[in-house]
Amino acid sequence: MEFERPAVAEIEAGVSSRVPLLQVVVGPRQVGKSTAAQQVERRLAWPSHSASADSALPHPPEWIETQWQLARLKAGRARTLLILDEIQKVRGWSEVVKRLWDEERARKGSVRALLLGSSALLLQRGLTESLGGRFFLHRFTHWSWPECRAAFGWSLDQWIYFGGYPGAAALAHDESQWKRYVSDSLIETVLSRDVLQLQTVNKPALLRHLFALASTFPAQILSYTKMLGQLQDAGNTTTLAHYLTLLESAFLVSGLEAFSKGKVRKRGSSPKLILWNNALINATSLRSFADVRQDGAWWGRLVENAVGAYLLNGLQGPQWSVSYWRDGSSEVDFVVSHGNETWALEVKSGRAGRQSGLEAFRKLYPKARVWLVGPDGLTLEEFFSRPAVHWFQ
């Protein structure tokens, strides 16, 4: 039986609402956005038309107008669903959508549009520049452990290793095949089509090497100077910071910044590298699941990265901030901020040789609340079993 994610009902309600808005779904590749759109289509049972702009060459703006006209032909007087996938790849997409949507409202038309995209940066840019007040944004994230447990019967350890790509789950029994699939069909496709094809990248080899470096040092704080020393291509810290932003916009890697009072993110700080899905780490590694599970230090890194990825996936939006804190040898794994509220998270993952910074952090920020995640605290099973926002209400 096909698995249905909770967001499907939310998208359906948005499309069928009496208040007509463009419904926009943004999220990583291969997490089920297109499947969710098809499930919404079946739920509604309206006349519908769907098309994808995911091609090697960008479509012209007229492509959107053509798809919209085809939806109108199917509509008649009945409400009709128009699904446009990878919309950010169409040149000038937001201006065309704005014009057509305003025309639809003026003529009291029956076309309801559902737009899907896998580049947060390009989608947000188009939405804020042209479509203010006309859209509702749905964030479609990497799969959580409860979803993978329900759909595939995975244990927590399996999810921490194999990550949350549903298309790769069927290959998990053959790790060599799984690694090839994630590397070729996911990582390479995202880098080629969602980053290099759509953004100005003067040093594509440097960007690829930066991603490889992040997958080698998950959940670690690396200065930009140290990164440059590890990378083969010449570059500067400004270029690396920009490339990290591009990787984040494709839901691959984020460089968390240091927390500081009054300015939640400390610009220019050494970033803490977090990959948005642990599959991105293990697919590029030579170590097997059995090898990794026996290496306590590396497993601790995977657990800490999984916590960071869980926070990034679950606490999106301008009202949330995820960072870290370090002062000398004292370190706090993650700091979550929401308005005036601050939480410090310490991940007890079995890694030795590191001094907890919670006591030092609480001296500086006595109003901050604390979560201990792992043994002697909130268990990993319980922590990952609920949406991230549950722990920060």
98-124 pLDDT, tens digit each: 999 999 999 988 999 999 998 887 788
Q: What is the pLDDT of residue 234?
A: 62
Q: What is the pLDDT of residue 350?
A: 61
> What's the CA gap between 308 and 345, in Å, rounded?
10
**Tens digits of residue pLDDT in 364-384:** 999 999 999 998 899 999 999
pLDDT at 287 exceeding the cut of 50: yes
Q: What is the pLDDT of residue 78?
A: 81
Give the mean model confidence (pLDDT) for residues 174-180: 97
Buried b (16+ CB within 10 A) or exposed e, 355-373: eebbebbeeebeebeebeb
The string of DSSP letters for 265-318 reads EETTPPPEEEESSTHHHHTT-S--HHHHHH-HHHHHHHHHHHHHHHHHHHS-ST
Structure tokens at 44: 């509604």
Our measurement of the distance from residue 300's CA atom to the centroid of its chain's CA atoms, rounded to an integer in Å, reads: 22
Q: What is the pLDDT of residue 285?
A: 94
Question: Which pTM was predicted?
Answer: 0.92
pLDDT at 266 exceeding the cut of 70: no
Q: What is the pLDDT of residue 33?
A: 95
Give the mean model confidence (pLDDT) for residues 174-201: 91
Selecting from 3.90.45.10, 3.80.30.20, 3.40.47.10, 3.40.50.300, what CATH number does the domain 7-139 have? 3.40.50.300
- pLDDT tier at 2, thresholds 50, 70, 90: confident
Structure tokens at 308: 């960071």
Q: What is the pLDDT of residue 268?
A: 61
Dihedral sign for Cα atoms in the order 201, 207, 211, 214: negative
**Which regions of 96-214 does DSSP assign to beta strands (E)?**
111-117, 135-139
Q: What is the pLDDT of residue 381?
A: 97
Q: Identity (one letter) of the amino acid at 269?
A: S
Of 187, 168, 186, 167, which is closest to residue 178 (Cα–Cα)?
Answer: 168
Structure tokens at 232: 């083969």
Q: What is each CA distance from 219 to 83, 196, 271, 288, 332, in whole angstroms?
A: 37, 25, 10, 19, 12
Please, which residues have CB within 8 angstroms of residue 245's CB and are 6 or more apart in sequence? 121
Strands 330-338 and 258-260: unpaired
Element housing 333 (H / E): strand 330-338
Q: What is the pLDDT of residue 265?
A: 47
Determine the straight-line distance between the first and last CA of the chain, rounded to whole angstroms.
34
**Locus of tokens 């990378």:** 231
Domain extent listing, the chain: 7-139, 145-392
**Tens digits of residue pLDDT in 353-368:** 556 799 999 999 999 9
Contact 134, 98 (CB under 8 A): yes
pLDDT over 70 percentage in the chain = 95
What does the mean pLDDT of the chain come to? 91
> What's the CA gap between 203 and 108, in Å, rounded?
48
* Strand order across the beta sheet in which 22-26 lies: 48-52, 80-85, 111-117, 22-26, 135-139
Q: What is the pLDDT of residue 231?
A: 80
**Tens digits of residue pLDDT in 197-220:** 778 888 899 999 999 999 999 999
Using alpha carbons only, what angle is made at residue 166 by residues 154 and 273, rounded to the nearest 5 degrees? 90
- pLDDT tier at 56, thresholds 50, 70, 90: confident
- pLDDT tier at 264, thresholds 50, 70, 90: very low
> What's the CA gap between 182 and 187, in Å, rounded?
6
